[in-house]
Amino acid sequence: MPLLDIRNLSVSIPTSEGEVHAVRAVSLEIERGEVHGVIGESGCGKTMTGMAVLGLAPKGARIVADRFNFDGEDLRERAAQLRGRRIGMIAQDPAAALNPVLSIARQMDDVIRAHRDLPHRGRHAEAVELLAATGLPDPERVLRSYPHQLSGGMQQRVVIAQALATGAEFLIADEPTTALDVSVGAQVLALLRKLVTERGLTVLMITHDMDVIAEACDRATVLYAGRSVETGPVDAVLQSPGHPYTRALLAALPDAAPLGARLAAIEGSIPPPRSAIAGCAFASRCPQALQQCAATPPPGRNRAAHRWLCHLPEDAA
């Protein structure tokens, strides 16, 4: 049984101007010990899916799913109890996630005290151990520091240590390298992979960066307009993409264009979140769109564990 098992999740938010379909039909199956990447443009529903798993969807949001389970427990009923205890969060902006007026020692102690019944000395030792586990040199000095005295990479490692301090076995990493330069971001991804191996963690990696998917993830799911359009092992998704949107994302990477050539771009934009979608949401932007694409929901295609939605025959992928 997958640790996280989601089938046809939708999250809609009522507003005075109509219902916003933040997530329309997302499906995820994440096994224990896996790093599973979720990728797509801004507005595709990546972060809202993570917030729904944490039980932090906006007030009044309507969550509907055929299945929405974590280790067999229904997240619609149990998310608040599982959050922090078994499911943790790594925010994308560590500077915003840390309180600027409190020392790292105080912030680590607050997290550990909320989740562990330890005396002060034991909490201090635990904080030192967790900071060391994230590769921070001289944890005692880090504990005495304030966030502004640490680099962005060090701040991100502190945020990861806080997530570990909860005892959570499943971490949602929301764009964990966005605020970091390339070399530091690569170090953070390597750290997460190391922690997955050493501590038996499972990670949902939310990103817009195909390089992060290639470097850190075992499996990946591509979202478009709030829907899962492709999922499978990373090698299959990146090397033999089935959905035209995935192929367009890969074609738009800088490395995909010959030296001096104009970079590829995906013309058009994602359908507005208040609009209804009858067929394939990508139809208006797809250079291979067929007549039925705009009006008829696309069927499922698959090659073993690699699945996608598309009207095009499998041999056209």
| Statement: residue 316 has pLDDT above 70 | no
| Statement: residue 244 has pLDDT above 80 | yes
Tell whether the torsion through CA atoms of 134, 32, 25 and 236 is positive or negative.
positive
Choice between 255 and 205, residue whose per-residue pLDDT is larger: 205
Q: Report whether 34 contacts 193 (CB < 8 A).
A: no
pTM of the model: 0.93
Q: Report whether 9 contacts 26 (CB < 8 A).
A: yes
Choice between 252 and 135, residue whose per-residue pLDDT is larger: 135
pLDDT of res. 314: 75
- Whether residue 139 lies inside any domain: the answer is no
- Whether residue 300 lies inside any domain: the answer is yes
List the one residue out of 228, 296, 234, 263 whose CA is nearest residue 35: 234
Q: Report whether 18 contacts 220 (CB < 8 A).
A: no
C-alpha–C-alpha distance, residues 202 and 169, integer Å = 6
- Whether residue 62 lies inside any domain: the answer is yes
- What CATH number did the domain enclosing 69 receive? 3.40.50.300
Strands 219-224 and 227-233: antiparallel
| Statement: residue 144 has pLDDT above 90 | yes
- Whether residue 239 lies inside any domain: the answer is yes
| Statement: residue 138 has pLDDT above 70 | yes
- Whether residue 179 lies inside any domain: the answer is yes
C-alpha–C-alpha distance, residues 277 and 273, integer Å = 10
- Specify the DSSP class assigned to residue 291: G
C-alpha–C-alpha distance, residues 122 and 112, integer Å = 10
Output the six-digit token pair for 12.
Answer: 């809609």
Query: What is the H or E stretch that residue 206 is in?
Result: strand 202-207
∠ at Cα 205 (232, 49), nearest 5°? 90
- Whether residue 181 lies inside any domain: the answer is yes
Q: What domain range is 256 assigned to?
A: 4-86+168-316
pLDDT of res. 89: 93
- Whether residue 24 lies inside any domain: the answer is yes
Domain count, the chain: 1
C-alpha–C-alpha distance, residues 19 and 274, integer Å = 6
| Statement: residue 255 has pLDDT above 90 | no
